[in-house]
Structure 1
Amino acid sequence: MWHALIYSCAGGAAVLYALYRWVIPAAVQYHAGLALLWHDYFVERLLDTLTQSTRPQRLLGAVKKNATRGDPRSVVKAIDQFCRQKEWAMNVGDEKGCILDSVVSELNPATVLELGTYCGYSTVRIASMLPPHAKLITLEFNPDYAAVARQVIAWAGLEDKVQLVEGASGDLIPKMSEQFEVETFDLVFLDHWKDRYLPDTKLMEECGLLKKGSVLLADNVICPGTPEYLEYVRASPRYESQYFRSHLEYTKVEDGLEKSVFLG
């Protein structure tokens, strides 16, 4: 009797683990709402409770364990492996990251503004490709995310190229010229709260932070989606816009990046 009970419990545990580890993640790969609900609500809360840590802290642990200090590409690789094999996270990801890399390489920008640092993944990708003496300012509202991002950036050896500022984008954008000595940005990467894409873009226009040829590159324009922002940059005569089709980070859900060149 006891043997049967033990086998039954073991079998049930094996089924639950298989569901958690493989079956459900595979099932939600193609559905935006279910993928975000599973990864960002259920799994994150479960692991936070079980480990008494946060997802950013676990991601940082993976970087320190698997990445070579001072090697940005190994930091990016360690995060991608963590997110594909261990735990999903809302970085721009490896697939869309290649598109980001190509835009940075094409522009070779001297001044970059990143809206939304999270754990520093895209910050590391961008900063590692910048020319000497280029300036990257990245804004993060969440102090816990910022604390992890600083350590990730430092592990990549890029702290001298990056200025991470905590605070709300709407408060900080008007201070760029006076407080951060930046007249205009060659590249702006938008990857923060989706409802801030449009007001922050208009705020940058009002503050004169965009010049002819400045590029806005916006992530997650399909999932979770930024319809008002897309309508604005695609319809405005002040922008020439192009959509790069891809997938939501580490899934098969359609997503993409919108590249918008400011025409003045």
Structure 2
Amino acid sequence: MVSPAIALAFVPLLLTLLLRYRHHVLLLYRAVVLSWLRDRLSGVSREQRAFQYVLSHGIPGDPGHILLTFDRWSYHCEHLSGVGPVKGRIVERLVRERAPRRVLELGTYCGYGTVLLARALPPGARLCTVEDNPRHAAVASKVIRMAGFDERTVQLIVGPSAEVIPQLRRRHRLAQADFVFMDHWKRRYVRDLRLLERLRLLAPGATVLADHVLFPGAPRFLQYARSCGRFHTRLHRASLEYCPGIPDGLAELRYTGPAQHSPELYP
């Protein structure tokens, strides 16, 4: 049994750790503990609760207000993983600068990133978004339509990315993508990027933008992008959505093709 004196010796260390990682502790409480308790007590998932809030407070047909309502929910109610307003401004700026005609999103979740991308598209552009969780896809579909985007602009595809990507050209009329936004499982980033390359689904000069590369992190993806010789890479540093005390970032990749060298452009 540990003596009181030894136990007391660890108190300063514990207090230091709690102070240093207080933002992470708060995130754990809001994103995991609180949501788990509310799931059990209400019998309704966090994603469905968020949609009910958006349905009650959002303005149909106004994408900006839909996103703002999601932000209010995530700041004041429960943490909802997504792009968020800080990184969202970076995403939207890059989409408007590149003006892509064919966009692919991997990881729809509740549709926040989808609405953000869709409202920044030039007229006549098309977005295909892929979500492997049918329950999340059901919520996202309602959010996308509530924001005012029909199937001609946004096509939601339900299924694992490894199965959907090989079908994009034949079944979903996406021959090549000018812009790819990755925000699904981080361990799938490298696999899916290599699959897009192998199937020649990246247009010359295409932009690949990957979220959460610093938290929770995607080190294998960053290493691959830097070393494979087919991308110009840049890191946009920001903070985790709705958690300004936790650093995060977006990795921007410009596809140069298999025959060109890709220098590192990390600041």
TM over 0.5: yes
The answer to whether residue 136 in structure 2 is matched with residue 145 in structure 1 is: yes
The answer to whether residue 236 in structure 2 is matched with residue 244 in structure 1 is: yes
Cα contact 2:31–2:78 (8 A) shared by 1: no
**Post-superposition offset of 1:72:** 0.5
Residue aligning to 1:111: 102
Question: For the structure 1 residues 28 and 181, does the alpha-carbon distance in structure 2 shift closer, same or farther, using more than 3 Å as the test?
Answer: farther
Cα contact 1:212–1:262 (8 A) shared by 2: yes
Question: For the structure 1 residues 238 and 97, does the alpha-carbon distance in structure 2 shift closer, same or farther, using more than 3 Å as the test?
Answer: same
Residue aligning to 2:118: 127
Identity %: 39
What does residue range 131-210 of structure 1 map to in structure 2 within 5 Å? 131-160=122-151, 161-210=153-202
* Aligned counterpart for 2:204 among listed residues 204, 207, 212: 212
- Secondary structure, aligned partner of 2:120: coil
CA deviation digits over 1:16-45, x for unaligned, max 9? xxxxxxxxxxx7995575355323320110
State the alpha-carbon separation in 2 of the partners of residues 188 and 29 from structure 1.
35
RMSD of aligned C-alpha atoms?
1.6
CA deviation digits over 1:55-77, x for unaligned, max 9? 11111111111111111001000
Cα contact 1:28–1:35 (8 A) shared by 2: no
* Aligned counterpart for 1:232 among listed residues 224, 240, 251: 224
State the alpha-carbon separation in 2 of the partners of residues 175 and 191 from structure 1.
20
Structure ranking higher on relative contact order (CA contacts 8 Å, 6+ apart):
1
Deviation >4 Å, runs of 4+:
27-33
Question: For the structure 1 residues 214 and 35, does the alpha-carbon distance in structure 2 shift closer, same or farther, using more than 3 Å as the test?
Answer: farther
Letter in 2 for 1:236: C
Structure 2, unaligned runs of 5 or more: 1-17, 258-267
The answer to whether residue 76 in structure 2 is matched with residue 85 in structure 1 is: yes
What does residue range 22-61 of structure 1 map to in structure 2 within 5 Å? 33-61=24-52
Residue aligning to 2:247: 254
Letter in 2 for 1:234: R
Cα contact 2:24–2:246 (8 A) shared by 1: no
Cα contact 2:233–2:253 (8 A) shared by 1: yes
TM-score, normalised with respect to structure 2: 0.86
Residue aligning to 1:75: 66
Cα contact 1:29–1:253 (8 A) shared by 2: no
State the alpha-carbon separation in 2 of the partners of residues 206 and 198 from structure 1.
12
CA deviation digits over 1:152-184, x for unaligned, max 9? 111101133110010000011011111111111
Structure 1, unaligned runs of 5 or more: 1-26
- Secondary structure, aligned partner of 1:128: helix
- Aligned positions, number: 238
* Aligned counterpart for 1:64 among listed residues 50, 55, 61: 55
**Post-superposition offset of 1:236:** 2.3
TM-score, normalised with respect to structure 1: 0.87
CA deviation digits over 1:175-228, x for unaligned, max 9? 111111111101000000010000000000000001221010000001111000
